Every structure is written in structure tokens, then in C-alpha cells.
């Protein structure tokens, strides 16, 4: 027979175990995916988000991270968020342009001269328009970060004039403005998920690709590309899109924790990306890529060759949105 004291102690221990188990199982669990390599600032920003959410909620919210395409490519992750299979995804806004074509207005060639200018536009009334459009499709935008200025790499030749793009088979994101820009340069652009890009370049299916330095280096495209140019033709944003129904089912307190944590994570990511840009570029050159700076004359050629893209876009997207983007970009230049 157990003594009374021992029985009480065992009962208390069992009760505590049940309480701990109940607490663990009752925690809100959020599955969050990302498409970037583990050493990329976006993947590290996911960790910043997770740490702050779990700390500020005292463990009432658990964030399960799936970076580096663990749950598939960007296109698949967007579909998973839409269906509610996962809570949110960190990815390029390009993967939402088919459903929210207004995003293409901030994807125009040579629109921004600096990241500060780009974010002053995105953090203002322009970003609010995009957020409202995303909301009608079942998404909540939790924040915007930097993917960065995009640059061309290729296996054909150094880029010394606009004519060097003629016939170039180049991979682009699924963004019609991006594709139209390279068609205007005489290239042969092809939309492809980044998960398929390395093998396409390795096998010679494509001649070229364009990405920020951080993506070129972290995805090791330098291993299958020879020439690098600082074309800076587009500035690209990431966004964190969450499933709207899932987000709105959270308590007001939990939504506040998530919003504040994402604001901190995105600020950290923007600052980190800016610091690391020169380092990524140096890594590519040190790894053996032939770097050819784009001259002012060539940049002017590229601007002129792609000048019609704005009017073309106005045929597909509300001209008022495009005019607002252009006005805001000019105002903060």
C-alpha cells in the first residue's frame, strides 16, 4: 500500500504532467515556408520572426519553419498558403503578379535608383493598394523585405551593349513586366521556378539568368555561369503572405504579436541585405566570375529600349496605380 504522502506526491506529479501536455498541445502552431537558402538573409529573418513570436507569446504560439524549399518551390508554397495547408510564405512578389497584376507596377525596368527610394514607395499608399488587392484573394500581407536589384549572368559574352541580349535564352520570374522587358531587348526570356534553374543552366537549356547578387551566390549559379554584369534592371521585393482566414481566426492579442514580430524581422532583413550586398558580389568575383560593369552609355541604351513597357502595362493594369507608383518614385528620388 502507498502511504498517503507518497500517493499525494504521485497524483500531483501526474496532474502537472497533464497540464504540461495540455499546454503543449493547445499552443497555436503556425507553419511558415520559405524559398531561400539557409544562409540568405530572408531565411535568417524567419528565425528572427519565430524567436520573437514564441518569446512574446510565452510559448502560446509555436512557429514551425520550413526554409530552403523544404515544402516545394515558390509556386507550390503560394498555393499551400492559399489553401491553408501552411500559414505563410516568405517569397518574391513576382509569384503573386499573376493574381495581383498591380504588383507589376513596382517591377518596371529602371524604376528605382536606390533601396531607400524603393521602400519609401512600398511603405506608403502604393503598398496599401497591394495589401487590399491581396486581401480580396484570401491573403494577408505581413510585411515587405528586400530581394534587391537584379543583375544578369550568362555564358555567352560580357554585356557591353544592348545588342548583347539579342537571342539570349534567359530565365525570368513569372512576372509579365520582367518577361516583356527582356523581349524588348531582343532576348528569348522563359519563365521558370528557381528550383529548376540550376539544372537548366548546367545542361545548357538556358544561356542566362538574372537575380540579386545574394541569390546568384547562395544558389551557386556562379558554378554554371561565367559572366556577371551589374545591370540592376529591376528592384525586387519579398513579401510575407499569410492565409487570411487562418490569420483572422487568431485572437487579437496573437495577431498583434505576429504583426510586431514580422515588423521587427523585416526591418532586420532589410538592414542585413543592404550590408551584405557588396559581400555577395565580392564572393562571386572571387569565385571566378568575369565581372563587366555596365557603362552609363549602355544603361541609357537599356532604358530607351525598354521605355515602352510602361504604356504596355497600362493596357493590363489600372493606369491610376501605375501613375501613382511613378509619382511616388519621383517624389522620393
Do 182 and 233 touch, CB atoms closer than 8 A? no
- Domain 27-325: CATH superfamily is Bacterial extracellular solute-binding protein, family 7 (3.40.190.170)
Supply φ then ψ for residue 99, to 5 degrees: -100, -25
Give the tens place of pLDDT for each residue, 164-210: 999 999 999 999 999 999 999 999 999 998 999 999 999 999 999 99
* Mean pLDDT for the chain overall: 93
Give dist(CA 211, CA 217) in Å, integer. 10
Give dist(CA 221, CA 225) in Å, integer. 6
Contacts of 317 (CB under 8 A, 6+ apart): 101, 102, 104, 105
C-alpha grid cell for residue 63? 512557429
pLDDT tops 60 at residue 278? yes
Percent of the chain scoring above 70 in pLDDT: 92
Do 84 and 101 touch, CB atoms closer than 8 A? no
Q: What is the DSSP letter of 75?
A: H
- What's the maximum distance between 2 C-alpha atoms anywhere in the chain? 94
Give dist(CA 309, CA 294) in Å, integer. 21
- Class of residue 284 by CB neighbours under 10 A (exposed 0-12, middle 13-18, buried 19+): buried
Question: Does the global pTM surpass 0.95?
Answer: no
- Class of residue 230 by CB neighbours under 10 A (exposed 0-12, middle 13-18, buried 19+): middle
C-alpha grid cell for residue 319? 493606369
Instruction: Tell how strand 208-211 and strand 169-172 pair up.
Output: parallel
Long-range pairs of 178-185 with CB within 8 A, sequence gap ≥ 24: 178/94, 178/107, 178/234, 180/309, 180/312, 180/313, 181/109, 181/233, 181/234, 181/306, 181/309, 184/305, 184/306, 184/308, 184/309, 185/302, 185/305, 185/306
Residue range 238-243: average pLDDT?
98
Give the tens place of pLDDT for each residue, 279-332: 999 999 999 999 999 999 999 999 999 999 999 999 999 999 999 999 999 999
Contacts of 144 (CB under 8 A, 6+ apart): 93, 119, 122, 123, 127, 237, 238, 239, 240, 266
Extended beta strands in the chain, E state: 28-34, 61-66, 88-92, 139-149, 151-154, 169-172, 188-191, 208-211, 227-229, 235-243, 290-292
Domains of the chain, by residue range, sit at 27-325
Give the tens place of pLDDT for each residue, 96-116: 999 999 999 999 999 999 999
Amino acid at each position: 500500500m502507498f502511504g498517503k504522502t507518497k500517493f499525494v506526491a504521485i497524483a500531483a506529479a501526474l496532474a502537472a504532467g497533464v497540464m504540461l501536455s495540455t499546454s503543449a498541445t493547445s499552443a497555436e502552431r503556425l507553419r511558415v515556408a520559405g524559398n531561400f537558402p539557409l544562409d540568405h538573409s530572408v531565411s535568417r529573418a524567419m528565425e528572427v520572426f519565430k524567436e520573437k513570436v514564441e518569446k512574446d507569446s510565452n510559448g502560446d504560439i509555436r512557429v514551425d519553419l520550413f526554409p530552403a524549399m523544404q515544402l516545394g518551390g515558390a509556386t507550390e508554397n503560394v498555393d499551400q498558403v492559399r489553401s491553408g495547408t501552411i500559414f505563410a510564405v516568405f517569397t518574391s512578389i513576382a509569384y503573386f503578379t499573376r493574381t495581383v497584376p498591380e504588383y507589376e507596377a513596382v517591377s518596371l525596368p529602371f524604376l528605382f535608383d536606390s533601396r531607400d527610394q524603393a521602400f519609401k514607395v512600398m511603405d506608403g499608399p502604393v503598398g496599401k493598394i497591394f495589401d487590399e488587392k491581396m486581401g480580396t484573394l484570401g491573403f494577408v500581407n505581413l510585411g515587405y523585405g528586400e530581394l534587391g536589384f537584379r543583375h544578369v549572368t550568362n555564358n555567352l559574352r560580357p554585356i557591353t551593349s544592348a545588342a548583347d541580349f539579342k537571342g539570349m535564352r534567359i530565365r525570368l520570374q513569372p512576372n509579365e513586366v520582367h518577361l516583356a522587358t527582356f523581349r524588348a531587348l531582343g532576348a528569348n526570356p522563359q519563365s521558370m521556378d528557381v528550383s529548376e534553374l540550376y539544372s537548366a543552366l548546367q545542361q545548357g537549356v538556358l544561356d542566362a539568368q538574372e537575380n540579386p547578387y545574394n541569390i546568384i551566390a547562395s544558389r551557386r549559379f556562379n558554378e554554371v555561369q561565367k559572366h556577371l554584369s551589374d545591370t540592376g534592371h529591376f528592384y525586387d521585393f519579398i513579401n510575407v503572405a499569410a492565409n487570411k482566414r487562418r490569420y483572422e481566426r487568431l485572437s487579437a492579442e496573437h495577431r498583434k504579436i505576429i504583426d510586431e514580430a514580422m515588423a521587427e524581422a523585416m526591418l532586420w532583413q532589410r538592414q542585413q541585405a543592404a550590408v551584405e550586398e557588396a559581400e555577395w558580389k565580392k564572393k562571386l568575383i572571387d569565385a571566378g566570375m568575369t565581372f563587366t560593369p555596365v557603362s552609363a552609355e549602355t544603361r541609357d541604351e537599356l532604358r530607351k529600349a525598354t521605355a515602352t513597357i510602361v504604356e504596355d502595362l497600362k493596357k493590363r493594369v489600372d493606369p491610376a496605380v501605375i501613375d501613382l507608383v511613378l509619382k511616388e518614385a519621383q517624389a522620393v528620388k
